[in-house]
Chains A and B, each alone.
Chain A
Amino acid sequence: MTESCVLRMESISKSFPGVLALDKVQFELLKGEVHVLLGENGAGKSTLMKILSGAYVKDEGEITIDDNLIEIESPAHAQKLGIGIIYQEFNLNPYLSVAENIFLGREPTILPGIIDWKKIYRDAQDILDSLCVEIDAKQIVETLGVAMQQMVEVAKALSLNARILIMDEPTASLSNKEIEALFKTIKKLQDDGVAIIYISHRLEEIFRIGNRVTVLRDGKYVDTKPVSELTKDEMVKMMVNRDLDDHIPKIKAEIGDVVMEVENVSVKDRLQDISFKLRKGEILGIAGLMGAGRTRLAKTLFGAEKISKGKILVDGVEIHMNSPRDSINAGIGLVTEDRKNEGLILDLSVKQNVCLPNMNKFINSGLINSRIENQAVDNYIDKLNIKTPTRNQLAIYLSGGNQQKVVLSKWLCSDAKIFIFDEPTRGIDVGAKTEIYQLMNQLVAKGVAIIMISSEMPEILGMSDRILIMRNGRIAGELSDTDASQEKIMNHALGEAYEAVL
């Protein structure tokens, strides 16, 4: 490994409406090293890599490649600079051959418009052979397994002379054997002088192939250290060790009887043996990494996923959930993660959205009673302090926080006694966040039970009475509010990888 620096990013900042995604972050990459980028969901890893690959434009900061100051303008520009990125979702055309995919858009030609097929296959095969993978350049991509498709992506990046290769959780869907093969390829690329930025949550892998680690937390740079100087505990600490003075206005409610029992619920290939009890007045936090199955669980409890095993009881009665209607009738409301696509109908008014799940309340001999409907909606606008000029304003024109309040009103209006919140404060500004927390306090004070899925540690720790941690579609651990800490949650969430290191 030579010590020459191929990439230096300094004081990189990027903000999105209402969020500072990156705050003066730095990152340095040496030739031939595997540099691990580590952090929780939303720490800023993806944003940083999107800036590097040209998908986002930075607000501030400097990027130096081979000692030249560079403004990366577009993905095409990044490619030209020798930066390749391999996303978790591949960008391959499944119906074309491997070679066609590798050279898509820059096929070698004999005459203008006439592809030089001999050359395209030969060149593609050369690159594949150099990676020591057994793929025929003429094979159709669709017929390849995930691991081999990933290799095609690598080959594509190399054909573009990538000297910096970004790999975003490359092992997420690979088997152990395939991971070994990938590591071999990575080693080989390293020997050839390619610098690799490696994003992964699997600590075990980091110790196997990483040279150095840079940790980000809440959009800020934490530290860069050689892997050999770190233990897993130190890594976890770097990831989560934040100041928890986040003014979360939790008011504990009296915790009452069990309202919901989930017994060994499984969803084919996605959720395994989920069991827990939920009590009145309780906020049950559900933590975990992205892809751990939390949103799937929320949808399942709401009747939007088919349960393959197990049962769900509300007030001691088993509920057969064939559709969201059944769970709404059982008194469950889901505040979805994706407000705009799942929670609201943006082209309908505040009123129409609020009343949608429980129209029967407002129907009088077949017709909607506008007077009662208006009264009810005005009442929610008032109580939840929804900022809207009128109840007839379309939902699309409200701010994120107010949209979220409309979603809440929907379930208040349908008399829900169990609220499932999936990332309740995502994309909401700080002031509105506090309001949402206060509304949650009011709900539990009235005896409502809340399941709150969140990727934000302060939120999980601040609002939950009890915390379940999910990993790989299972419940990996449970912590009481007094017992919980960022480290403990992260350890459960990282799970197996962590145990493997022990």
Chain B
Amino acid sequence: MKQFFNNQNLDQIRQFGTFFGLIALCLLFTILSPYFLTTSNLLNVAQQSSIIAVISVGMTFVIITAGIDLSVGSVLAFSGVVMASVLHAGLPIPLGILVGLGVGFSCGLLNGLLVSYGKIPPFIATLGMMSIARGAGLWFTDGRPISGFDDSFRYLATGEIFYVPVPVIIMIVVYIVAHLILTKTKMGRYTYAIGGNEKAAVLSGINIKLYLNIIYGIAGLLSALGAVMLTARLNSAQPIAGIMYELDAIAATVIGGTSLFGGKGTVIGTLIGALIIGVLRNGLNLLGVSSFIQQIVIGSVIIGAILLDTNLKMRKN
């Protein structure tokens, strides 16, 4: 009995449950709308979800360490406008992208330093960064968007490889790498260890400060990658981009089964979580449900997922 109802089983049931939820949603929308189950619409969902999905990977790492990153949306906007301005200044595209990623990584690293060395609760550190990065982006651009890019840059949003949109490919690559890191590397193991029990992790010789810095840095880096994708799609970098993205990313992570208390979670779950949000938005749009009501539905889904989690946990204990 105990053996059957062990935690791993429950986690698998949980993961399967999320996946089942996604399938059920798809079935529901297929029945309700003739347009849902078409290749172009499904690719559309994947493309629309890709940015949030990429940001959510960083969020998943951070949340597994029992932290949180509220600054991802602002960091996205800030790194986007910096990248846009250096591109406009004539920097070659790959270099411009690198600059953008560098800005994102630096913001994330700063979060990490505040959390690890400054011993500030992640909620507060990243709340501060959320405001700082937003302000920096607005100040940097004087509040104006930077628009108009080379077609070769826009290819990152509009291009296709074997009919698959480039953003979807970026997303898949990010998830494969992240999954490998979490399951196959020392850093992945340490990520779970830090979130599972920081004290025991320290006493096992893990340099938790170093790894926290890296993990928050990665979260910032992936926000900047989101900025690259968004800028390419909109053909414009806006200092007010990415508002509320942090909430979508947290929602995707949590719906995907990552525990806000840390120590548990998978990026596969997060991908499913991001897709659930994407499918919900898309399906409700197809059905002509107003965006106001969509917010209510998505909020309910988040709460439902957590309720399910807590109940499973209670049964476990």
Contacts and interface: CB of A to CB of B under 8 A. Distances in A.
Contacts of B203: 302, 304, 324, 334, 336, 342-343
Contacts of A347: 7, 192, 196-197, 263-264
A19 interface: no
Contact of A348 (B193, B202, B205, B206): B193
B14 to A, nearest CB: 14
A349 B8 CA distance: 9
A480 interface: no
Contact of A368 (B2, B185, B192, B200): B185
Contacts of A329: 205
Contact of A342 (B186, B196, B200): B200
Interface string A392-409: 111011000000000000
A324 B205 contact: yes
B201 interface: yes
Nearest to A302: B203
B199 A342 contact: yes
Contacts of A324: 202-205
B119 interface: no
B207 interface: yes
Contacts of B189: 352, 355-356, 359, 368
A343 B199 CA distance: 8
A111 interface: no
A345 B6 contact: no
Contacts of B308: none
Interface size class of B (residues with CB under 8 A): 20 to 34
B2 A344 contact: no
B37 interface: no
Nearest to B3: A389
B180 A367 contact: yes
A360 interface: yes
Interface in A24-73: none
A357 interface: yes
Contacts of B186: 359-360, 363, 368
Contacts of A346: 196-197
B207 A367 contact: no
Given A347-B7, A347-B264, A357-B205, A341 B197 contact: yes
A344 B200 contact: yes
Most buried by B among A347, A349, A392: A347
B104 to A, nearest CB: 23
A66 to B, nearest CB: 42
A348 B192 contact: yes
B185 A345 contact: no
A130 interface: no
B101 to A, nearest CB: 21
Nearest to A362: B186
B184 interface: yes
| Chain A contact surface mostly | mixed
Contacts, number: 88
Interface residues of A, number: 36
A485 to B, nearest CB: 34
A304 to B, nearest CB: 6
A341 B180 contact: no
Contacts of A349: 8
Contacts of A394: 6-8
A56 B313 CA distance: 27
A348 B207 contact: no
Given A359-B189, A368-B184, A323 B207 contact: yes
Interface in A376-397: 389, 392-394, 396-397
A160 B189 CA distance: 53
Nearest to A392: B8
A499 to B, nearest CB: 37
| Chain B contact surface mostly | helix
A357 B202 CA distance: 10
A393 B4 CA distance: 11
B74 to A, nearest CB: 32
A492 interface: no
A344 B95 CA distance: 45
Nearest to A325: B205
Given A302-B203, A357-B204, A359-B189, A344 B180 contact: no
Nearest to A363: B186
A345 B190 CA distance: 11
A421 to B, nearest CB: 14
Nearest to B263: A347
Nearest to A349: B8
A334 B100 CA distance: 45
Interface in B256-311: 263-264
A328 interface: yes
A393 B193 contact: no
A347 B313 CA distance: 12
Interface in B1-36: 2-3, 6-8
Interface in B159-215: 180, 184-186, 189-190, 192-193, 196-197, 199-207
Contact of B7 (A334, A341, A343, A396): A396
A366 interface: yes
B97 to A, nearest CB: 25
A302 B200 CA distance: 13
Contact of B201 (A345, A392, A396): A345
A410 interface: yes
A334 B202 CA distance: 12
Contacts of A342: 197, 199-200, 203
A379 B186 CA distance: 21
A394 B6 CA distance: 8
Interface in A297-347: 302, 304, 323-325, 328-329, 334, 336, 341-347
Contacts of A393: 6, 8
Contact of B205 (A323, A344, A367): A323
A365 B205 CA distance: 21
Nearest to B198: A345
B313 to A, nearest CB: 11
A146 to B, nearest CB: 27
Given A324-B204, A325-B207, A345-B263, A397 B184 contact: no
A410 B201 CA distance: 12
Contacts of B3: 389
B315 to A, nearest CB: 14
B192 A352 contact: yes
Given A304-B202, A341-B200, A344-B197, 20 more contacts: A304-B203, A324-B202, A324-B203, A343-B200, A345-B193, A348-B196, A348-B263, A352-B193, A356-B193, A356-B201, A356-B204, A356-B206, A363-B186, A367-B180, A367-B184, A368-B184, A394-B6, A394-B7, A396-B7, A397-B6
- Counting from the closest, the 9 A-B pairs by CB-CB distance are A345-B196, A328-B205, A325-B205, A356-B204, A359-B186, A345-B197, A347-B263, A357-B204, A367-B184
22 contacts: A323-B202, A324-B202, A324-B204, A324-B205, A341-B197, A342-B200, A345-B193, A345-B201, A346-B196, A346-B197, A349-B8, A352-B192, A352-B193, A356-B193, A363-B186, A368-B185, A368-B186, A368-B189, A394-B7, A394-B8, A397-B2, A397-B7
Interface of A: 302, 304, 323-325, 328-329, 334, 336, 341-349, 352, 355-357, 359-360, 363, 366-368, 389, 392-394, 396-397, 410, 414
